[in-house]
Amino acid sequence: MGKEGFFAKQSELDMEDHLIFEYAFESFVDPEEAAAHLCQEQSTAQWKRVDVDEDLRPRFGAKVIDLKVLETMERSSHPEMGEGEGPAYSCRVKIAHPHANFGPKIPNILTAACGEGAFYCPGISVIKLMDIGFPEPFLEHFEGPKFGVKGLRDMLEVYDRPLFFGVVKPNIGLTPESFTALAYESWMGGLDIAKDDEMLGDVEWSPLSIRSALMGQARRDTERRTGEKKIYLANITDEADRLIELHDMCVKNGVNALMVNVMTVGLSPIRKLRRHTEVPLVAHFDFIAPFTRVPYYGVDSNVIIKLQRMVGFDTIILPGFGSRMKTPDREVLENVEECLKPLGHMKPCLPVPAGSQWAGSTIDIYEKLKTIDFGIVPGRGVFEHPMGPRGGGASLNQAWEAHRNGVSLEEYGETHPELKAAIEAFG
Amino acid sequence: MGKEGFFAKQSELDMEDHLIFEYAFESFVDPEEAAAHLCQEQSTAQWKRVDVDEDLRPRFGAKVIDLKVLETMERSSHPEMGEGEGPAYSCRVKIAHPHANFGPKIPNILTAACGEGAFYCPGISVIKLMDIGFPEPFLEHFEGPKFGVKGLRDMLEVYDRPLFFGVVKPNIGLTPESFTALAYESWMGGLDIAKDDEMLGDVEWSPLSIRSALMGQARRDTERRTGEKKIYLANITDEADRLIELHDMCVKNGVNALMVNVMTVGLSPIRKLRRHTEVPLVAHFDFIAPFTRVPYYGVDSNVIIKLQRMVGFDTIILPGFGSRMKTPDREVLENVEECLKPLGHMKPCLPVPAGSQWAGSTIDIYEKLKTIDFGIVPGRGVFEHPMGPRGGGASLNQAWEAHRNGVSLEEYGETHPELKAAIEAFG
């Protein structure tokens, strides 16, 4: 195979016509040959007809615009994934792929970037898609978040602190009545957003029709009593063709945010939901680890964050800090930045770094992120609070008040029993 | 955390009420504790309310029904994925998960089996979902293939040999007219099924409306001229909410099979398409490698084969034999078996092990599979044949005739120039 036809200078291409696929890969053949193959296999694998004098590569071929060999090794670092006879090369490549080959469609973008072409490329043992760069005109085809961070804050009328989500626990097994009683307590304690667990969908023992009606009513009651705005985030994860129907039923019943375990349904079905929705959409991260967590293979989690924002999520729940969530701090920080940084015309979406949180987590996360535009999402930290979920909800607010007043949690806890109990139980 | 409540004897459970999730994992804590955690995190993470005397585990808890420690190691074999201070344990576990926790819904099954609970479990460094066992009554909720192997054979009236698919190449860049001319030639040569490449969808330079109309017409012309039945397999991979619309347009235009790059769209949207479809559905394997190819992490490809069959694919194109497709023979054989073996009420679906094939591949694959119920899917092996796609199509049939007559390819090639040319070009 010749390499010619699959290399270009970025300055010679109209970059508005291309997406940039960035991969880290290891080859056991000449890196230029491997990179050319990567372009060939994901675009014009055969670029001419037999007996026809033509060359489809200039218009349709993906092209290497940058290739760096980071390291030359004696042999493959992951021989079980493929190896050659000679040395192995650790590489980083940027490929400009003409987007007219697929158009502004999630499944066809994923096919080009993560399909047979990328993952079964001759001469390449391991590969990870690190980023997709989108030109601004291409991004115009995607709606992005409808509400975004500001829309969510406007709903809650909370502008000066992180947002407090709480996963109602026990997460499965409660009747809609018991579930609602717990959520009500947590809201009364000061929780902003009471939410369904990712495992709790529309099930026989807690039909969403009943749960959403009770929760919608309880939310309005709480708002009337407290003068504060509240959100019930219902998990409508279900077969793709039920999303709109569940949206309509939930919204009618007073649900004011909807969660989808996005990669279990597919990114694509969210686009229709986004165009239809009357309330913010929240993504949960199930089925993402299987293809993002191996350092040298699969897809970088940032790519999936970006795509979740593009299809229209207002909030993205993602694996947060700490050994519990097995995610390096660097990756969490990048994921958070991906939610908030400029992306074409799109609104920022609220990052919610999750995992075994309690009242004190807000401050730890704030100190890492240096912004208040995030949410925390404790479960047991609110609902297994020794004083019950009302105490759990209160403890979240008290911890942030302590921080705002420049007082240690312990000191503030002396006059705030809910915080004190939280420190003793979870601190 | 106590382990109690998350173990059971299979004989004490009603297995019709449970799915069996089978994982291979490595723990850096006591394996029983790790396995119990795996159950807890994927089901009743908190199983009682504060101050309420209750235990939700008996009804809602996932339970270990079998745990084997295969090996005890001094330390984690993949320390970058997590490790403890002491030894590491390589384990295999079967978990009975009550399916009333989620119901017969793909996204909710995937959340339970591959969600936060499984992939962020304390004490477990690496984990791979190896199988999901479904009780027969649960399978009744899934339609499975509408046509299956027999339905596909009935359409083609071919019962005595493997089926010959061919990917029209150049795969992208051709006008609908040029594309159709090539496909016509390949059919005339003897190809059964001319198909779109996974990268060729509904694009501006080859709108499916035009391509499907030309191809539908060409297919009928070919059938009239040859007296043989032919299939055009159109790739309708697109945003989920376009699948039905594209189905209707294609079928109206004479397309008689449809391909979806399933995991780029999502398994779930296929269920609606399956209930609606008038023609066989074919799955292509893009975006599966990222979570199946690492031996110790993610999801075993067999699980995805099984789910593809359950949601209704009549044919599954999968990575085939040989170093080109980076898949061990054992895995290809298991994938093929998964397509064909009994699965509740469901019809078998046709396995198509793919990858750099030509006329001779049919025999190689037949000798490995020992069944004729499979397809081959050459691209260049037909469309870069030195005598053009008509020669390429003919070479496939000639190779199989040679095999059937007990004659070597070389010998048969002496009197069959298309086969001879194929041997010289690709053999």
Q: What are phi and psi of A250, to 5 degrees?
A: -65, -45
Return the pLDDT at B323. 86
Over residues B212-249, the pLDDT tens digits come to 999 999 999 999 999 999 999 999 999 999 999 999 99
Would you give the DSSP letter of residue B16?
Answer: G
* A241·B269 Cβ contact <8 A: yes
Interface test mutation site (partner B, options A56, A105, A264, max chain B beta carbons within 10 A): A264
- Among A267, A299, A384, beta carbon nearest to B290: A299
**CATH number of the domain at A148-426, please?**
3.20.20.110
Residue A339 to residue A322: CA distance in whole angstroms? 20
Structure tokens at B351: 């396995």
A103/chain B closest Cα distance in angstroms: 7
Q: Does B82 touch chain A (CB under 8 A)?
A: yes
Interface test mutation site (partner A, options B48, B121, B268, max chain A beta carbons within 10 A): B268
Cβ proximity of B195 and B167 under 8 Å:
yes
* A44·B297 Cβ contact <8 A: no
B242/chain A closest Cα distance in angstroms: 10
A399: left (phi over 0), alpha (psi -120 to 50) or beta: alpha
Task: Enter the pTM of the model.
Answer: 0.98
Return the pLDDT at B45. 85
Q: Scanning the structure block, which residue is given the tokens 């309708």?
A: B236
For residue B407, the one-letter residue type is V
Residues of A in contact with B203 (CB under 8 A): 100-103
Q: Does A299 touch chain B (CB under 8 A)?
A: yes
Return the pLDDT at B2. 57
- Among A108, A174, A198, beta carbon nearest to B115: A198
Q: How far is CA B396 from CA B131, B147, B194, B389, B390, in A?
A: 36, 25, 13, 11, 10
* A56·B355 Cβ contact <8 A: no
Where do the structural domains in chain B lie, given as residue ranges? 10-139, 148-426
Over residues B363-377, the pLDDT tens digits come to 999 999 999 999 999
Return the pLDDT at A45. 85
Residue B350 to residue B153: CA distance in whole angstroms? 10
- Among A82, A111, A203, beta carbon nearest to B326: A82
Q: How far is CA A175 from CA A5, A202, A210, A211, A233, in A?
A: 63, 12, 10, 8, 17
DSSP-H helix ranges across A47-192: 57-60, 106-114, 116-119, 136-139, 148-156, 176-189
Would you give the DSSP letter of residue A60?
Answer: H
Q: What are phi and psi of B318, to 5 degrees?
A: -140, 160
Chain B residue closest to A124 (CA)?
B326
Q: Does B191 touch chain A (CB under 8 A)?
A: no
Structure tokens at A389: 């979920």
Kindly give the interhelix angle for B268-276 and B301-311, rounded to the nearest 10 degrees.
Answer: 30
Return the pLDDT at A328. 95
* B271·A239 Cβ contact <8 A: yes
**H or E segment and range at residue B121:** none
**Quick one: CA dihedral B81, B84, B90, B91, positive or negative?**
negative
Interface test mutation site (partner B, options A57, A119, A141, A184, max chain B beta carbons within 10 A): A119
CA-based radius of gyration for chain B: 24
Q: What are phi and psi of A352, to 5 degrees?
A: -125, 90
Return the pLDDT at B4. 80
Quick one: which of B66, B129, B58, B71 has its CA closest to B100? B58
Beta B63-73 vs B88-98: how paired, if at all? antiparallel
**CATH number of the domain at A10-139, please?**
3.30.70.150
Q: In what order do the strands lie in the sheet with B257-261?
A: B350-354, B315-319, B281-284, B257-261, B231-235, B193-195, B163-167, B375-376
pLDDT surpasses 70 at B317? yes
DSSP-H helix ranges across A205-319: 208-226, 243-252, 262-265, 268-276, 289-292, 301-311
Residues of B (395-424) whose Cβ lies below 8 Å from A: none
Q: What are phi and psi of B80, to 5 degrees?
A: -65, -15
Q: Does A56 touch chain B (CB under 8 A)?
A: yes
Beta A18-27 vs A88-98: how paired, if at all? antiparallel
Structure tokens at B298: 């993610």
Report percent pLDDT > 90 for chain B: 97
Beta A193-195 vs A163-167: how paired, if at all? parallel
Three-state DSSP state, A113: helix
Residues of A in contact with B318 (CB under 8 A): none
- Report angle CA B359, B365, B369 to the nearest 5 degrees: 150
* A294·B294 Cβ contact <8 A: yes
Quick one: which of A360, A384, A378, A394 has its CA closest to A190? A394
B365: left (phi over 0), alpha (psi -120 to 50) or beta: alpha
pLDDT surpasses 80 at B386? yes
Residues of A in contact with B202 (CB under 8 A): 103
Return the pLDDT at B3. 75
Return the pLDDT at A3. 75
Over residues B75-103, the pLDDT tens digits come to 999 999 999 999 999 999 999 999 999 99
* A266·B261 Cβ contact <8 A: no
A91/chain B closest Cα distance in angstroms: 18
* B324·A122 Cβ contact <8 A: yes
**H or E segment and range at residue A265:** helix A262-265
Structure tokens at B62: 């996932």
The pLDDT confidence band at residue B1, using thresholds 50, 70 and 90, is very low
Q: Does A7 touch chain B (CB under 8 A)?
A: no
B377: left (phi over 0), alpha (psi -120 to 50) or beta: beta
Q: Does B29 touch chain A (CB under 8 A)?
A: no
Cβ proximity of B108 and A237 under 8 Å:
yes
Chain B residue closest to A123 (CA)?
B324
* B269·A267 Cβ contact <8 A: no
Burial label, A135 (beta-carbon count in 10 A; 0-12, 13-18, 19+):
middle
Structure tokens at A274: 């986004």
pLDDT in tens, chain A (427 residues): 457 899 999 999 999 999 999 999 999 999 999 999 999 999 998 899 988 999 999 999 999 999 999 999 999 999 999 999 999 999 999 999 999 999 999 999 999 999 999 999 999 999 999 999 999 999 999 999 999 999 999 999 999 999 999 999 999 999 999 999 999 999 999 999 999 999 999 999 999 999 999 999 999 999 999 999 999 999 999 999 999 999 999 999 999 999 999 999 999 999 999 999 999 999 999 999 999 999 999 999 999 999 999 999 999 999 999 988 999 999 999 999 999 999 999 999 999 999 989 999 999 999 999 999 999 999 999 999 999 999 999 999 999 999 999 999 999 999 999 999 999 999 9
